[in-house]
Structure 1
């Protein structure tokens, strides 16, 4: 019981401290809340005070880490879906398709190629690591799309584009992860048949269908309830959390993609419930989101494989720099002409940089290790995740302010007439 009490003190106490100082942390400090929680986890982990020594290898601990990450990602993608304005996906589906198809394929290919070239791993293992770190994390993206600084500095169209991408590609990331896993586990022909028939044909399509049905039914019921004068605003918190966990569990029980189903359910729920849900969604994001999102970063800080990272040697630094710099930026410049939400090179550069790797990658890394037994996948993936949390968490506020400054200067130059030489 004492260990449980200590865990509650560290986890809940950290969330409490960040909740009462959230405005200061988000708008004043050059460090994000997830990064702070990661540092807390390191401090109480094996390299700190040694409160707990959690390592992959024990089946019970593996399952706990995987499921904690899965639930956190599900709640985060629901928050992303509820944050979007009504009809957003219907109006922007072409842009979203470009981001999710060629965009994700390019990120996967570049990440896998860097891992393969730097570490000399078997191609399928390198592609598996590349698939694990492909999705954009919705929890870390929140520091760029939410808060006073973000709302004042980043155009709404850019924030919405990053929000919908981070929600959708976390679910679609499963397809990319399962392809190399299947190829490692089966003969090539059998693996491709299984991936096309089961992963794409069943897991993907059934997740969309079941998620849409659950979102529509929940949205209709919520719409009727919200029309009643005695319905409180906090009801959206209950409905959103219940829909998240119900969709996640139901779809997983039929061996489908639970994360994607949750995101689709959130989109359809938001659309079906109408302006009632749109007005009240911030209750879900601020209360449920923070309480469930932040503790997982403390846990991640406690389980970092420091010794294994050291064994990687100098190629580890090359891989981290290469993936953070090249995984996303070149791809976004290639597809920028089909992304109407990004109108200038500065906007492409900003959006191309802020594609953080986080808890979705942790979930897929744990899954990949469980299914393949490849410890290198866990070691390399966690190093990249850790680096992204630190680098993107530290650069979010200053680069957002710098982006706003350059945007304001550009607007001023454009507004000047030829007769005004000043």
Structure 2
């Protein structure tokens, strides 16, 4: 006998599939007409389907009621999306891009990231009461990298093609891809110091010397350098093998198109097995894989990779909307809500803007101050920040004394969870609405001005028409050879001029205005409408 099966799997499939289908019906309208980002729309959908609203998506049920399991799911989901996104980011850059543009990237990834880290730390330290500067460094490290997922929303589509120069698009892609994997040194600098120096190094031994030793050996050598070397080797081997298979005609079209995504999954898994930086390795592998531009050109007109990328993006931002700790923003012992809001505003303004303005003359892709303002403002905080948040909280839970999480570690763990989640939500909303609000702000004053000036313009045009008629009827026409013929022409023009009621000119200063030299005019009649135009215009 048929029965209802209201299990989580059925509900999630129906909810996710229904939302993506409905969004797909109006996706072009949303993204290319209203310039709304898919991240913002899917996050709002996640909120609507979350336990706070419709309760179709129940994250704690999937994690068996454990908050730690829920954070693990979020971490792995973020790794998957970032890994695929970073390989695709590396693939879509032109050949040898990192070698050619190393100077610009070095500025953005070196002084740029360091300044973003310090500026964010200072703001967080100032806004959160009773917070040590070392703890602020840890929190700021999670939001230092710019997010490659949200960055794609401003470097793809009709708006980007029209308003963002191609070199600027590429440097944004390259920076967001590389610095997402370079967040480990900033994060572990504070974490190691806190573990071995904070609270007198309670529960640990070794002090600052051990902290710096681990930071250089484990973070820089093992995590960063090994991931770069691994990405180069895997990317080079993959390119050679795919070339060989294509020449032998061993690979079909479908497998060829999905090869980059499979490469991302392979790197995520193997880097996870050996405990190195899978994000940086994915980006480097993508660049090396398309070093000769062959794969990028072959797949340029194919939509498989963007389609999979879109499905992952919609899914993860729906998940973020459902799992975000909304209640903790207003009810916590770390930071009051008004300080949290002010913190979000300050971070979006000073985290990235000052250093970009300071360096823009040395980055040739940033040609004007408007470009610098664009690059400085659009440094979104998104999936990468949630990834580093999960890594940070997992490390902090390992700092224990007598089997309990150390007091300072627990406070920082709570603070980083509230602050990073709130800043991610702020970035999704602000950067998701910046383009449509900017377009409205650009067109609205002109529309209002035209609406308000219409009556006065008509009145002004009527006065001009009357003046023209009066001038032509009273002035002596110019006579070249035949005076009588000139008078006849002048009289005929004045007598036959109709009474104009509609002006068909451009509304600019007329022949008697000092701002514009006199131009010849002629009266016109179109059916029942009458008016005047300048001789160099068309009605």
TM-score by length of 1: 0.90
Residue number among 292, 295, 319 corresponding to 1:276 in the alignment:
295
How far off is 1:17 after superposition? 3.3
Supply the distance in 2 between the matched residues of 1:5 and 1:53 (Cα, whole angstroms).
12
Quote the residue 2:368 is aligned against: 344
Question: In the aligned structure 2, how far is the partner of 1:231 from the partner of 1:396?
Answer: 42
In the alignment, the residues of structure 1 paired with residue 303 and residue 256 of structure 2 have an alpha-carbon distance, to the nearest angstrom, of: 7
1:59 aligns with 2:68: yes
2:357 to 309, 318, 333: 333
Give the corresponding residue for 1:46. 51
Q: Does 1:172 align with 2:182?
A: yes
2:264 aligns with 244
Deviations 1:216-245 (A, max 9, x none): 011111223344668555434421111101
Give the RMSD, CA atoms, in angstroms: 2.3
2: CA distance, partners of 1:155 / 1:252: 37
Q: Are 2:12 and 2:57, in contact at CA under 8 Å, matched by a contact in 1?
A: no
**Is the partner of 1:355 in helix, strand or coil?**
coil
- Which structure has more helix as a fraction of its residues? 1
Q: Which runs of 5+ in 1 are unaligned?
A: 404-420
Residues 183 and 235 (structure 1 numbering): CA distance in 2 closer, same or farther, change over 3 Å? Answer: same
CA 1:95–1:220: 2 relative to 1, 3 Å:
same
For each residue in 1:342-387, what CA deviation from the matched residue of structure 2 results, as whole angstroms up to 9, or x when unmatched?
0000110111111111001011112212221411111110000000
Structure 1 distance, partners of 2:70, 2:255, is: 34
Residue in structure 1 matching 2:347, options 323, 337, 345: 323
Q: 1:259 to 1:401 in 2, by over 3 A?
A: farther
How far apart are residue 45 of structure 1 and its match? 1.4
Q: Does the CA contact (< 8 Å) of 2:261 and 2:305 recur in 1? A: no
Shift of the alpha carbon at 1:400? Answer: 7.7
Give, in whole Å, the separation in 2 of the partners of 1:93 and 1:400.
34
Q: 1:14 aligns with which of 19, 27, 40?
A: 19
Aligned equivalents of 1:276 and 1:366: distance in 2? 34
Max Rg structure: 2
- Quote the residue 1:112 is aligned against: 121
Q: Which residue of 1 aligns with 2:88?
A: 79
1-structure distance, mates of 2:138, 2:59: 24
Could you give the per-residue CA deviations for residues 376-413 of structure 1, whole angstroms, max 9, x where no partner exists?
A: 1111100000000010011135548989xxxxxxxxxx
Q: Secondary structure at the match of 2:95?
A: coil
- Map 1:208-287 onto structure 2 (within 5 A): 208-227=228-247, 233-272=253-292, 274-281=293-300, 282-287=302-307
Question: Is 253-262 or 117-126 further displaced after alignment?
Answer: 117-126
Number of paired residues? 405
Higher relative contact order, structure no. (Cα contacts within 8 Å, ≥ 6 residues apart): 1
Equivalent of 1:375, from 414, 426, 449?
414
Distance 1:231 1:149 in 2: 37
Task: Name the CA shift for 1:348/1:227 in 2 (closer, same or farther; >3 Å).
Answer: farther
Q: What is the Cα deviation at residue 23 of structure 1?
A: 2.2
Partner of 1:358: 382
Question: Which of 284, 289, 312 pairs up with 1:292?
Answer: 312
Match of 1:100 in 2: 109
